[in-house]
Structure formats: structure tokens, C-alpha cells
Amino acid sequence: MRMENQFSPSVIPTSKIVSSSPSFLSDKLPTPSPRKSGGGKLVFAAITALLLICGAAFWLTRDGQTRDTLREQAAAALDDLTQGTPLASMGNVLRGATPVPHVGEYRKNPTGEGGTSGPAVQGAVAAPLDRSLPPELGASRTSPPVVLSSPSSAGANPQPQAVAPKASADTTVRPDFIDDLAGYVVARYKPGQNGGGLGLSAQGINQRYGVKMTGLAGNGQSRGDRAGILRYVFSPTMIQELYGLYVDRFLEALQRHGTEKSLTPEQMRQLFTAIAGRSVLLAGGLEGVAALPDLSGRLKKLEHASQNTLNVNAEMMQIVFELDELRENKAPRSRIDETQARVTALSTRYRKVLDERTMEQRTLLADIRKGGGTALDDDTLLFLARWLERRMRDTPQSLDSARSAAGVLRDLARRCSQTGASLAANAPPQ
């Protein structure tokens, strides 16, 4: 039966209207109103469904009974919101029943009432990564997103993936290293007047964990083990991750070891203040060394000057030994005078190369102090410079790592100052 074309071109042709009622034979079919076609309600329902799906990341961590309760509540709410729309009964997806067909496949509901047609809607929803703590260290540090649905599984029950647990420990730098370091620091503190004394240095820490590798992977004692651990740790990202993972545990271990040492609240405050001060000094030293242009070249010049000093000194010692033998054996005076002249010449040369080495070292230290570390002694600055230069041979990004370590030390100083003040303020009156 042909009907009169009394609709605009945008209206769905009457030949494609399907109904279970003979009323479609009427000559006066009503023109659908855009505002009443359910489009707005459909968009609202889709947005609501998306929010509910994102909320699934929460209940994935709940126990079984709580999950069932939340699933049923969400399914009921979804059914209410989508009632009368092409997404009706979508709550069955959460219940594990047969899901709603794609929008593009929707033709009739069980009652025979007409529906809408259109393209299939597919998509993937991924939960945001939680960066409050670094992912598991020592293994893969990139956790995959939690995919709730994917285009390949559209029209089937979503299969949520397990959420990767937050890291609590590193597999190479383990928690017992943090506890051992805290115990070592506390043991180096001697209570006394004017804040007591903290016998702590970068050289001492390096020596301790170059031999006694407590809490480090494998507890290996070979140089290769130590070098591999340093390469693993000494990168900007890893320094930040390990610090974020362990800083609170380190502060708690300091308090525990201080309590075991029977430190008073005031002594505990002084201990934390001393650690803060030492951290700031070390941070400045690292920043100064990292800011030095051509660190390797400068250290090579100093090493060359030092080697010249050693060579001349060794030669002079040999000649002095020969002179002593000549005198002891009562050699001819001419040979003794000749050897004495060689000793005098070498002494003059030794003083010259020694002055050159001293000047080279002073210039190097002055240039380092321009970038920081003005309060550190010469030996510590030279140790830091040589230590960092060795790291640069293996890791090109060592300068960036030194700056990252300096930032960590400054944050540690801030935390130690706050912790010490809090312990003293909250201490019971004596």
C-alpha cells in the first residue's frame, strides 16, 4: 500500500516502520517529536553507565559478599535509568546474564514494540594509574591499565583484569637495608651538649655498604655485584621511586633505633636535626659537583698532577737510599757529592710538582663550591667528585642522577626537621 509522502526527507520512511498493531494503516501518522524521541534520555543513560563502569575499579578490591551486594545495587540502578530506552535491561551485564545487544542490532523488544536502529557503540574503559606509590620495583615498573571492556569483547560479559597491588618493597634494595642504614646512623650519634655529635660521612657509608651489603640483592661480595646494584639504583627515576617507597619506613626505623638506644625526646630531636643538617650539606656537595663543567677532564688533570708528585717522590726516595749506602760504605767523596746533587735537584722538582698538584686541587674545589657544597670539607668534596666520575663511566645520566639525589636529600632534611620537632613537642613533661 502506497502512502502519501507528507513528511520531510529527514523523517524515517514509513516502509521501514515495524509494529505489531494494524494502526500503521492509518493515513495520519504522527510526526515524531525530536524532544520526545528519547535521544536525551539515551545520552544521559549512556553517561551514567560509563560512570558506573568506572566505579567498578572500587569493588574489584572488595570481598565476595560485598561485591555481590554492590553488583546487584548497580544493576538495579542501571535498569531503572535505562527503562524505556534501547539500553533497557543493561543491568543484566553486571549480573552476568545475557548482555544487551549492540545499539546497531536493536530492533524489537520482547513486547513487540518498535525500537531504534543505528551504528553499534563499542569502546574500552581503562582505570587511571595510581601513582601515589611506585609500582613493584625490581620487576616491571609499568602496570597495565585495568580494562573493563574492549571492542573485541563487545556484546559479551566484561572480564575485568586484576588490579596490580601497590609495591611495598623493592627486590634489589630490600627493607632490611633501610633498617640497617637507620641503625648505623643512630649508632654514629653521640648525645652531648650543643646537640651532640653525628659521626656520619659519605665516605663511611660508602665503605660500609661496599663491604657489608646488608639488604642488597643477593648480599654479593664481588665488585661486579656492587657495580650492578649501583647501576640499578643510580638513575633519576629509581632514586625517586626508592625514596618514595622507603622514606617513611626510614624515619620510623630511626625513631625505633633511637628508642632502643634510650634517647630522650630532646636527644631524639637533636638526632633528627643533625641528620637534616648533614643531608643539606651532602645535597649541596652533589649539586656543586654536578654543576662542574668537564668533571672527567678536571679530575684527569688533578690525577696527572698527583701521579707526577708520586713519581718524583719515589725517584727521590731511591736516590736518598743510594746516598745513604754510599756514605755507609765510605764511597769516594766525588760519588757522594754527585748523588747529593741529584737528591737536591729532585727535592726542588718535587716541591714544584707538589705545588702544581695543590694548585690544581684548590682550583677544582673552588669551582665545585661555586655550584654548592661550600660548607663541606675538601676530602668529602673530592670523594664525591671522584665517586660521581666513576658512575659517569657506566651511566651517562649520572649528573642528572646526582641532582635527583640532591633533591631527595633536601626533602629528607625537611622531613627530619619536622619529625624531630614533633617528637619533642609531643613528649610527656619530665
The 10s digit of each residue's pLDDT in 53-104 is 555 545 455 555 555 655 666 666 656 655 555 555 555 555 554 443 333 3
Report residue 277 as a C-alpha cell. Answer: 643538617
Q: How far are the Cα atoms of 176, 344, 398 from residue 224, in angstroms, in the given order?
A: 21, 46, 18
* pLDDT at residue 46, rounded to an integer: 52
What would the grid cell of residue 149 be?
Answer: 571492556
Phi, psi dihedrals of residue 42, rounded to the nearest 5°: -65, -45
What residues form DSSP beta bridges with 56?
A: none
Question: What is the end-to-end Cα distance of the chain in Å, rounded?
Answer: 103
Give residue 196's pLDDT: 86
Residue 196, phi then psi, degrees to nearest 5: 75, -165
Residue 292 falls in which region: left (phi positive, over 0), alpha (psi -120 to 50) or beta = beta
Using one digit for the tens of pLDDT, what is the confidence trace for 339-370?
A: 999 999 999 999 999 999 999 999 999 999 99
Q: Which three cell numbers stand for residue 177?
A: 637495608
- Are 85 and 41 in contact by the 8 Å Cβ rule? The answer is yes
For 347, phi then psi, to 5°, come to -65, -45
- H/E element, 319: helix 295-328
pLDDT in the model for residue 40: 53
Query: What's the rounded Cα separation, in Å, for the pair 43 and 177?
Result: 55
Of the CA atoms within 13 Å of residue 365, those in its CB half-sphere come to 16
pLDDT the model gives residue 187: 96
| Average pLDDT, 10 consecutive residues per value, the chain (430 residues) | 43 42 44 49 53 52 55 62 56 50 38 38 32 35 35 46 67 94 96 88 92 74 71 94 96 96 93 96 96 94 95 94 93 93 95 96 95 91 95 89 97 96 79
Res 47: pLDDT = 55
**Distance between CA atoms of 285 and 277, rounded to whole angstroms?**
13
